Structure 1
């Protein structure tokens, strides 16, 4: 009776074990399917993110950067347009401007800009057209002025002919004719000054003087004999008409000066519009860059969140079946490699694989766009450290370099000099010759400074306005004084005209020098204040000279 009971119990245990194995196998299959589904979903999400970065975000960043670069190229085309002096030059410059505008418009069409940016581009186009009209008017007036100057030459020739005609003249007529000739030539000489006048107040003074000369000329004619009056009256009438009529030389020159002012004002307005558009493009690129980083961070966080669950699934699958474990381990390893690649995409290159599966293609595509991001970032970094006018380092680059030099342990073992340079009476230069000429002068000065002191260790930068600054590592006070003298000699050789300077008829500079000696600890503010004090001393002592702070301190001690 006991044996059947024992058999039933044994069968129950075997049935229970089969059920457990079946349940365990079912759980393994469900877990396998769940893990595979989750892994597939994660890969699809990664695919979607990478597709978004590949086909939307990164191209948008690239196009925005290119749009900013194209808009920057408009500056040189605009300068060429405004500096044109003949219709041919203006036409060539207009074609270049239109070409750059079209390129900028085409680049903007590839970027998902708002309507404000396109309206800004349209405004730039309209202002360019208005500027062209102003330049056409200016050139037309200039041509009329040239014709009036030729008319002056013809009148002068006619006056010479009248004066040389002596047939049948009495001594009194000759004397009166000589008096008239002198007054007429004085008026002609004064009229020739009109074209060279570049200020309206000066032109008004010349006009007043011409009116007095004309009155004087008329009074001379009234006192002459009738025969002489008949000869010279037409010439007096002709020169009065040439100078004082509505289309006379004086009014034409006044309109020409006004048109120059309007053209210059329009140019500055367009420059500001182009600068605004370039800033918008750069900001758009930065926003896309932030969006790219956020996407990568979200992808990384998602992978780390599911990492524990993945590991547990791998352990269970390894107990149930080695094949599933191998496949699963291979898949998760590939996903981790992909995640690390996304996180370090901008710093490490990825070697190409011989296989051509989907993930390898993603790796290859992401490598290319990673290089694109690095290139664009380097270009933006270069632009941010360069002065747009002089193409030398700007103040930000100078501050960064000086901070590095003063905080580096190696540089404490050498002398370090700072040279602060200021252009004398530059405000008067701008007031006299205009800001465009002022910009050209700053560019020439920057070029001379670069040729004089630039090398692999020195740095020359625009400090602000008309101020420049140089860092001279491993230069003692004596050596930096010699460099300063070379700089002043270079500026003298540049021979830039400056008739409103109080100390010279050419542009001069004042220099202040400060040196941090070997082993001495100094910060940026202290060193720059010393250089500024030396510069102030140079200015106070009459400008056009270089002063080292040590020389001032020695004089105080004595």
Structure 2
């Protein structure tokens, strides 16, 4: 029995040894008690600038919430641009300080804050653009008062319509000052209902004025209720305002968290300075030397582990995977993996199941192309073999012939002698075909029902005719009784022959069609005979 060397056991031992080495290093580092005076001075000189930078960074960050407040509450594009300029200046100063900090996470978080500020600026700009468009719509609404007054002077019936229309204009003027979406939607529904009532009042107007009033009313409805109308714009503006407020609070929280982290970083730097000074005073140069040696040993040990995993595990698994993928859709081959571990067993298991799968596939493929009754190939096997032989003979410029064979009056045979006798009759015919068409390169198949086919590569039409005569003679000698036949008292065949030379060999479908036509003509001539049909010529 081969001794196994499991990868899991070897990795566990290696990790345990590395853990012991790491624990030894930690124990020596814990008991350090002294250091050199120069190291203490160097640390102090390096740490103090970091602490000063942290203090400056904290001061700069505390001004950010006020700047974002100004941006979110900007009432005009000019105010927005001024607030944005102040934020950009402050951001540049903070970026300069952050570039001197070793903490990369702070720069990443500040980049996130800047992206959020950019998005907030876009929202504020959208809000102000909607505000400008709303003011334009209000100016257009004010022009409706002059048009109402002109209509009111032209008719005595117009005042009721004009009074209601003016009420709609007054309600429309309230839209820009509404601060809740629910109020805007409620007012929109009310205005839409009142516009509908206005349409009913049109019937009271003079026919001449109805057109002008209707046009005026439709223009107002379009100005208020369309997708780019006043109500839709105010609704979208309130939504954007809500997003501005939410984004402002979110940025404010991020800035405050960022400031707290900067302050905490400064505290950490101070604490680290105090701890390092106290520790370095107690570190001994000799113990530092041993720590260096152990670190080097740990590094070598770690590199060895990585090499082992790379070579013994990863590379072998990659090779196994490549070998498996190379066999997809191909004949299974033996995969060889060196070693005596789990990967080797995995490769052996794959070889076993691949062999079984290939064997089952071959068996199923053979069964799918074999006729269960006669033991010769079926229609599926015939189609595959015919296409293959047509391509081969066409490539090599060789002739090919096809025989289409039908058992004469086979239905009468089944009716007279029974289906079991009919099955036995088909088996005897298949046996005769296998015996007469005996070359290894020839192919015999059951085409369907009582029809059989023979593919004769490297055979001209003359040889096919002689072979067909032998088949007819062999069936006659077999002398299977058939009292239901109209041509003889024994079983007979009708044969359709077709053949072509390799240089003009048509497709497989054309050959089958020619052979089938020849068989049809043989039946029409009285059966128990053969008819040839060359490519392009009838015989």
Query: TM bucket by the smaller chain?
Result: 0.3 to 0.5
Higher RCO, 1 or 2 (CA under 8 Å, sep at least 6)?
A: 2
What is the TM-score normalised by the length of structure 1? 0.43
Higher gyration radius (CA): 2
What is the TM-score normalised by the length of structure 2? 0.45
